[in-house]
Structure 1
């Protein structure tokens, strides 16, 4: 596999220079524990920019990230960074940073001490300057001399991101990085990831929240039950999710009349009426939700309740597996 290099470009004050381009490759990767398959035959290529790894809890996202970071060996397949395996290859940590979901932070340290220790472990030529720059990137200067044990969860996350960025890695892996952040912290972190991706870094972050991925990344990898269910442009995947079949519970002032009217609607594939109201099966979410108010108004019916009954992430993502 060939790799390319990017010229070092000037960046905003306090930011490190743009790194050499790196590519992370997964080829037919699986990981199992006894009879449990955590990751099943996943292949993907990650280059410069921000990519979202989307999926419900338990989908295999963390296992996949740990294999990318060289913490786990694939049971089958290969994970490589610029053509070299990540497993049993400590040199990858010169080019790779990881923010794991589990908080492994010594709470008696200050943020400055924690980030400085990371800089020293990487044997950087000027660890103090590297720590100062990384802390400035996550806007933690005013709190850097407080013990991490006094921080909110969102502040601890930012300190951990600073430690992962202290050596200017070409690749940054983040597992649920927005957990515990308040709106202002989330906005800042999203802006930071955008800047790093635009500067030529390869960024992958996992999330089980669709809106987080939509706001940060245009490219998405969707994981369901250990499998790669969908991959590509976010708008295409969002359209798949929107156009999938849906089930709605509907309550109105005249359920029987509404049921009859809905059976003539093209987007409706089935209607069931019982004592609690209507269960409507729609082939197109958008078309049905636009048609329902029009139909109700035309028949003088007031809709009192419209509740999607299959809106869990597991339901949404399972549909992508079958699509």
Structure 2
């Protein structure tokens, strides 16, 4: 049972702070590293993978430093977000080369098992340069699995995959987690994390914004103020009724409709159609005005 540990880890490039004072423990099971693009997820994974030195703080695997410690690669498999395979090699040649680099006792058998695990036997004799994005993701996964590591770091592993490939990889990750492996995968897509991760770590602008299971993170996101744009047949009448109820923090009348900040999300979403019906106002549009991951996570950071 392997544990990755970050203690007050920061990483900066000149005056740019990519990761700022992050502490977390990643244990057995599936942990989702969730955050918008540019939040610092890849930088964290590179430090956990021993490819990047923390500017301050410590990053360890089972108590051993990750930086400048080649022995940790016996325990660790990495699927980076960027393309890292050699396009002129076939899938089988690439995985076999990885098995030989790890000095496995039977590299051919190990390569065969890894390719089968990601269901790429049908394409193993084709050159990687002719693979689709999803196929390249799967062959990278095979390269991370070839030495059967107890720890896996997966950086946006589902990018470019079609629905069938996503389901197959999700099933594989669940299976490996059930075997007791420690798996961390990054994503900016809530649905991927919800379906896979038992523990979620939220990163925003290089900072650790929240931690917990999906219900806790969902509650934090749902309980925040929500901004809606509403258009109707009588915006003024609707605004008066909403203000009278008190479920909205503010209501602004604009040339595009009503801008409503709902402080009680559940009550507001239940109340709005009731108020519209009672006031004999027809709703044309009800749309969230702040549902980007950046705005959601920024609220978590500010808490």
Shorter-normalised TM-score: what interval? over 0.9
Deviations along 1:208-264, one digit per CA (max 9) or x if unpaired, are: 111111111121000001000001111111011011101111000111110111102
**1:191 matched to 2:171:** yes
Report what 1:209 is aligned to: 189
Report what 2:93 is aligned to: 113
Asked if structure 2 preserves the Cα contact closer than 8 Å seen for 1:101 and 1:177, the reply is yes
1:14-33 to 2 correspondence within 5 Å? 21-33=1-13
1:157 deviates by 0.3
Report what 1:159 is aligned to: 139
1:30-179 to 2 correspondence within 5 Å? 30-179=10-159
**1:243 matched to 2:184:** no
Which of 262, 265, 270 does residue 285 from structure 1 map onto? 265
Unaligned runs of 5+ in 1: 1-20
Asked if structure 1 preserves the Cα contact closer than 8 Å seen for 2:29 and 2:198, the reply is no
State the secondary structure of the residue aligned to 2:244.
coil
Deviations along 1:150-186, one digit per CA (max 9) or x if unpaired, are: 1110011000000110000110001000000000001
TM-score (norm 1): 0.92
Runs of 4+ in 1 over 4 A off after TM superposition: none
Which of 308, 312, 320 does residue 292 from structure 2 map onto? 312
Q: Distance in 1 between matches of 2:299 and 2:291?
A: 11
State the secondary structure of the residue aligned to 2:168.
helix
Q: Distance in 2 between matches of 1:175 and 1:159?
A: 14
1:274 deviates by 2.8
State the secondary structure of the residue aligned to 1:263.
helix
1:141 deviates by 1.1
Q: Which moved more, 1:252-261 or 1:85-94?
A: 252-261
State the secondary structure of the residue aligned to 1:257.
helix
1:97 deviates by 0.5
State how many pairs are aligned: 303
TM-score (norm 2): 0.98
Report what 1:267 is aligned to: 247
